[in-house]
Structures are given as C-alpha cells and as structure tokens.
Chains A and B, each alone.
Chain A
Amino acid sequence: MDIQVVKVGIVSCSGEEIPEGTLCRLACRKVLDERPGETVTICLPLFIAGGEEERTFAQNYPTITVDGCDKLCAAKATEMLSGKPSKSLSIPEILKKHGLTPPTKLRHFGPEEDAAVKAVAEEIARAVDEVLEEE
C-alpha cells in the first residue's frame, strides 16, 4: 500500500523592517521545530531567485502564509509566483484576536515577547491541523 504523508507548507514573510515581522518568523519557526514531520518551509525570495522545484512549492504542499503586516508579502508572493495558499494568516489580526500588544523590538526577543510568539504559533498550528484534516 502506498501511504502518502502530507506535509503542510508554511511560508513566513521575513519582515525584517518591523517587529511584527520578527514575531512572524519566530512563531513560524516554533511551529516548524515542534512539528517537523508535518510541516515544511521555504525562504520566500526563492520564488524568484530559486529554481523550478522551489517555484512550485505551493503546488506541491498545501500552504499557509503568515504575514507581519497588511502588505501581505507572503500571501501575495505565494499566490503570484507559486500557487494559491490554503490559508493566509496575519499577525495584526492574531494579536487583535488575543488582545495582545504588538512587540516593539526588531531582534533579541525575550520573555516579554513570549506570549505573542506562543499565541501566533498556536494559531499557525491550528491552521496546520485544519489543512491536514481537509487533505
């Protein structure tokens, strides 16, 4: 019997310019580290700089995009250059939903930012579960 293990793609915006971008990266990384068997990622600019295999990422994996602001770079780049995401999450919406204030620094997150990283990671993990159920 051929058992196909589905992995969910997580595409994070890298958001270097704003603290929400760092939050986005760290929360995505947390989910990727905690669920290595079910998730996979790609560096977003590879949709332009990479090869065929990298550009077809969202066709090969049901993909969740996570963005740090309403520019929605990950969602737009994935849809434009790779394939339609299964779900698109946004950090400001998640923070609002959880009544959390946005982080204020670009790097060296510590205990003060833990709650936000955890909340965002939980939302991403929930989205991973939903996508896996749909597959």
Chain B
Amino acid sequence: MGKKPKQVVVLPCSGIGKTFGALARETAYELVERVRPGLATLTCLPLLVINDPEAVALVTENPVITIDGCPKDCAKKSVEAVGGRVAKAYEAIKFYKEHKDLKPEGIAEVNDTGRKLAQVAAAEVAREVDKLAAGEGE
C-alpha cells in the first residue's frame, strides 16, 4: 500500500496567451479554493523554472497532477526537469473536447462558460486527487 500524502499538488501551466492556459489555471483554482481546499494545493510554476528549493520540495515530496494549456506541456516538463514525477498529466483542451457545449473564451481569464467548464473539469480532476490522497495510483 502506498504512503498517504498530506497534499496533492495540482499545477497548471503559466499560459499567458492562450484560452486553454487560462482554463488550466481556472480549473486548478477551482480545485484549490472550492472543490478540494486543504487537500489540493498549487504553487507558482515559475518557481520551478528558477529552481526554488521550497517549490522543488513540494513537487518532489507530494503527488503531482499537471494541467497544461497546449501540447508544449510546460507544467509537466517543468516538474520533470526538477526531478518530480507527474502522477497524472492533463491537457486542458481534453475537457472541452468532452463538453463541446461549453466553449471557453478569454485569454487573461476565461469567460462564464469557461468557468462552468472549469467546474466540470475540476470535478473530474478531483477524482484523481482523491485516489492519490488515498495512496492509490502512485
């Protein structure tokens, strides 16, 4: 049986110019603030880029789920670059492909439809968070 982690890191990419980057971030915020507060946590992805010791420890000592805004997979690659292992990697577009009625728009932040899609996405990601928190899937 795997060791039960205290926290599960849900790490969105830094997407500054893409709707699906904004969706990735909104989904992570939804988990951290509303769906699994206290259990799901995040950090600033750029801290991994500069090798900040605390952020590196967070992603190497806890299970990590990444949500990326495009196929460049920055969140996933950044975790791996500092020696972390990604338990589950999502690309945010997947959630839209599965819910075509919820087309997100907006670049800085997603619009209301994007927020709804983020709620749906967060509910799906929460199941992975729970598995990882229970020590499964490691």
Interface residues in chain A, defined as those with a beta carbon under 8 Å from any beta carbon in chain B: 12-18, 21, 25-26, 28-30, 32, 41-50, 68, 71, 73-74, 76-77, 80-81, 106-109
Contacts and interface: CB of A to CB of B under 8 A. Distances in A.
Interface residues of B, number: 34
The 7 A-B residue pairs with the shortest CB-CB distance, nearest first, are: A14-B14, A73-B46, A45-B74, A49-B77, A29-B108, A49-B74, A77-B49
B21 interface: yes
A74 B14 CA distance: 11
Interface stretch (B22-30, B95-103, B128-136): B22-30
Interface stretch (B37-45, B86-94, B119-127): B37-45
A13 B14 CA distance: 8
Interface of B: 12-18, 21, 25-26, 28-29, 33, 42-50, 52, 69, 72-75, 77-78, 81, 107-109
Contacts of A41: 16-17
Contacts of A45: 13-14, 45-46, 48-49, 74-75, 77-78
